[in-house]
Amino acid sequence: MSKSAVPEGRPPAFVYRHEVLHCERAPLPDLAQKHGTPLYVYSATTIRDRYRTFDRAFRGFPHTVCYSVKANPNLALLKMLAGLRCGFDVVSGGELQRVQHAARKAARRVVFSGVGKTAEEMDAALRAGILMFNVESESEMAALAERSARLKKRARLAFRVNPDVPAETHPYIATGLHQHKFGVPIDAARRLYERAAREKWLEVAGVSVHIGSQITSVEPFGAAMERVAELVRALQSHGHCIRYVDAGGGLGIRYDAQELPEFAEHVKAFAKAVTRPLRGLGVHLLLEPGRSIVGPAGALLVRVLYRKSNNGKSFLVVDGAMNDLIRPALYGAHHEIVPVVRPHVEERDIVDVVGPICETGDFFARDRALPPVEEGGLLAILDTGAYGMSITSNYNTRPRAAEVLVEGKRARVIRKRETLEDLLRGEVQ
């Protein structure tokens, strides 16, 4: 393990200084002492740097980066990204309201995705004047036409097409094959565009695609864009004004020792694969990164409650649980786990890092080699800036963790820790 970064090759959001892990220049033991654990900690500098790296990679092509709000919807992060002129990809009326709350004028840079938009959500988006709806079925198109006519507000739309392109990722987050619930068959798209063009209050404006998440190879993105480009040419030749192509998101990050290029080089390769098929079509490219922007910027701090051994099987029982970070239980996802205070020993213990919830699936790691950590010691679960806090729950009546945003030495709470009173407030006896 590097003396400067954790682990080697990751961005410098979390750095050991004198054997103590810091977020930027804030010591994590101090944050845990002040704010308690479990605690989500984010690096503001890392988020800004990764957004700018992504944006620069596409500077040779007209584009808007639309951050995927579902990755981490904290208002402070949305406000920070809006200040960089970032757009947003939302999948619910609640996410749209978050964007509007963080930066009212940012609604004009919002694309609304998702397979199950309600009439109320459509109305809210129409009134907000969003950039575009990504429509996922013929029935949804009919509902959008009805709502836009009722409000007399024109709805700009793209159909999300399913290119039937396989992507090497977990099956729960693959979305680009015909058996998945997302999108419309690319071969049926021309008929749907023809029908949409006949609706007075609908404006055919783009083509959308998203093949999945945590995809670490750029080749599937290029293959999907080849199919999209063919469709755009066909639609334009039939008189449709296709001005936007939404390439979705899905670019993966490095959670473990897998070999990935340095982030800037990886995004450049992604940009090349995506834009090459679209050149000459006169379209504005929309991109929906989430994980690749915020994932490596976050860590979940947990404290070891107990060390335990069952017939030679060793456990570290920590105060965080699957309700705080469900990815390992849900996907079998790997997250690097490191001691916050690094011991001066070479030995490693083979342990399961588990939480207190009454489920065997409540674990963060199994059979993981870690330096010895005593009861009361702190662990940092890395790369939890995306799909960490956003998928938390109150299972076992556990209040959700606090969130802290760090910039340099300064740390501020951007979500207060929930209390039991918060959990009980809405219930009626």
CA–CA distance, 404 with 412 (Å, rounded to integer):
5
CA-CA-CA-CA torsion sign (222, 224, 230, 234): negative
Q: Which residues contact 300 (CB under 8 A, 6 or more apart)?
A: 38, 39, 40, 41, 320, 324, 325, 380, 381, 384, 388, 401
Q: Say which residue the tokens 């002492």 belong to.
A: 33
Question: What tokens does 385 get?
Answer: 């800036």
Active site annotation includes 358: yes
Q: How far are the Cα atoms of 52, 55, 64, 408 from residue 59, in angstroms, in the given order?
A: 10, 7, 10, 28
CB atoms within 10 A of CB 332: 11
Phi, psi of 343 (to 5 degrees): -75, 155
Whole-angstrom distance, CA of residue 260 vs CA of residue 197: 43
Q: Which residues are catalytic?
A: 358
